[in-house]
Structure 1
Amino acid sequence: MAGVSKCIKYSMFAFNFLFWLCGCVILGVSIWVRVSKNVQKELNIEGGSLLAAVDLMIAVGAIIMVLGFFGCCGAIRESRCLLLLFFIGLFLILALQITAGILGVVYKPKIDAQLTESFQKLLPLSGQDESFKNSFETIQKENECCGLVHGYTDWGANVPASCNCPSTGNCVSSGGNKYYKETCLNIIADFFKKHLAIIIGIAFGLAAVELFGLGFSMTLYCQIGKK
């Protein structure tokens, strides 16, 4: 009877060890994207659809770590059961990753419109509670922006000092005062677009690698069956 190819066996182990590391990276990056400068929480708005791809990738990263462990054990112990579980799980993960990538591609062009629609409900900003205004003023200071949608007019008659623009900056004048011309909507939208691009790249890039994993696992599975 045919034996198990040592090359396939140890290649499978090496692949799954790297696969496990990739799962760690995906999980770490996705969680970082989800919580880093959590604009959704700071602004107290609903933006679930925009972060659907990120949430999906968190689940993908965790499951990939488990599958990588199954794959390593299945290769070393020549266990058909573990290899079959790995193959089925990897195929499902591949489908989830493609879904996450498509969600990212679909929602990325809609970010500006969806944020604008959500932010319109918060105007005028001066009518919000103190906790909200303090958080948003911090965003304005850190990013040198003013207002959410229309600029300083979003604050009504009470434009805060965090909107004040130095004479050397990109300013707009009103009533003898200078305010930042750029709205915070642009800053927040750029944040989402930048990090969704990272998720999209990970999703589609790793999908190509996982196709090799499917091939390795099924080849080794068949060889063990013939042993």
Structure 2
Amino acid sequence: MGKVNIWLKRSFITVASLMTIIGALMLAGTLFSHGHYHRDDEIEDMIVGINAMYALSITILVLPIIGLFGACKEKRWVLIVFTVGMILCSLFVLYMAIHMLIIRPMLIKILSKFYLSMQPISNASEVDLKVLQETQIELECCGVQEGYTEWGYNISESCLCNNSLANCIAAPRNSSLFQLTDNTPVMIFKEPCFPIILSHFNLGVNLLVGISMGLTSLWTLSCALSIAILCQLKEKKDTVVVAYSREAKTGNYAVLAEPAELT
């Protein structure tokens, strides 16, 4: 078995340690998300994604630990297990990133169909109105595409602006919100919700793809370092060649002491 270059081993240990930290952070984030949403009514729809994140984060955490053990102990079979596992993880994450880019137009179409079906707001169902009001509060917006004018006279109180004055506008005097005060301008969100939803969705997809590419690059580097270590371990050590010579004579050696003196 050959000797591994010390700088190659240190480089692998550094990369594997970084991967271990990332895996631990991903697992902690998954645990936090599960604890945050476990009382939510929509947890049943999210449980599949949460379980997938558990599996991925645990795998990312365990495999680098296996690789660190194999590199420190110079165990070939352990490094082989690490390399194969990292290659499979890289292919899976790369597939998911490409798949997300492929289905993004379809997801945008579904979002558009869902929110645009609420128009006109006066004819929207109670469920759709509840979703729209929650969206307006969370994203600080009002209306779907045209802004507060879509609400007509009965502007929802979820459009009330309390924080960012830069994103607010005075409510019309002939609206229901204006009657809440004594001739004092009532500020409401001026931006419609649907463009903000699309912007956040595209940002989330781009961020997810960017993180996936970064992780894949890091994992590919760890696989390359692991393969380099395996190649060095496969090399045989240089052995000293002993040559026999017929010219050697017993007269060249002398007895240091008589046998009787050794007792």
Assess same fold via TM > 0.5. yes
Secondary structure of 1:2 counterpart: coil
Q: Does 1:222 align with 2:231?
A: yes
Q: Hey, what does 1:198 align to over in structure 2?
A: 207
Q: Hey, what does 1:13 align to over in structure 2?
A: 13
8 Å Cα contact 1:126-1:155 kept in structure 2: no
Among 35, 58, 78, the residue aligned to 1:82: 78
1:96-141: per-residue Cα shift (whole Å, max 9, x none)? 22123223333445554221212345565863259x72x6535423
Amino acid at match of 1:212: L
CA RMSD of aligned residues (A): 4.2
**Separation (CA, whole Å) in 1 of partners of 2:96 and 2:235:** 38
Greater C-alpha radius of gyration: 2
Among 173, 176, 181, the residue aligned to 2:174: 176
Structure 2, gaps ≥5 residues long: 178-187, 237-263
Give the 3 Å change call, closer, same or farther, for CA 3–142 of structure 1 in structure 2. closer
1:140-182: per-residue Cα shift (whole Å, max 9, x none)? 2353312345545766875322235699855597782386442
**Separation (CA, whole Å) in 1 of partners of 2:115 and 2:212:** 30
Give the 3 Å change call, closer, same or farther, for CA 209–140 of structure 1 in structure 2. same
Give the 3 Å change call, closer, same or farther, for CA 11–176 of structure 1 in structure 2. same
Among 101, 113, 117, the residue aligned to 1:105: 101
Moved more, 216-225 or 98-107: 98-107
Mapping of residues 110-189 of structure 1, within 5 Å: 110-120=106-116, 124=121, 127-129=125-127, 133=130, 136-149=132-145, 151-152=147-148, 158-164=154-160, 171=169, 176-177=174-175, 180-189=189-198
**Separation (CA, whole Å) in 1 of partners of 2:16 and 2:166:** 55
Moved more, 168-177 or 17-26: 168-177
**Separation (CA, whole Å) in 2 of partners of 1:62 and 1:186:** 37
Amino acid at match of 1:103: H
**Which one has the bigger helix percentage?**
1
Q: Hey, what does 1:94 align to over in structure 2?
A: 90
Give the 3 Å change call, closer, same or farther, for CA 4–164 of structure 1 in structure 2. closer
**Separation (CA, whole Å) in 2 of partners of 1:164 and 1:19:** 45
Q: Hey, what does 2:60 align to over in structure 1?
A: 64
Secondary structure of 1:182 counterpart: coil
8 Å Cα contact 2:9-2:229 kept in structure 1: yes
8 Å Cα contact 1:57-1:97 kept in structure 2: no
Question: Among the aligned pairs, what percent are the same residue?
Answer: 25
1:24-51: per-residue Cα shift (whole Å, max 9, x none)? 345556788x78x98xx78x7xx98xx9
8 Å Cα contact 2:167-2:191 kept in structure 1: no
8 Å Cα contact 1:112-1:189 kept in structure 2: yes
Give the 3 Å change call, closer, same or farther, for CA 168–205 of structure 1 in structure 2. closer
Q: Number of residue pairs matched?
A: 217
Amino acid at match of 1:21: I
Q: TM-score, normalised by structure 2?
A: 0.62
Amino acid at match of 2:71: A
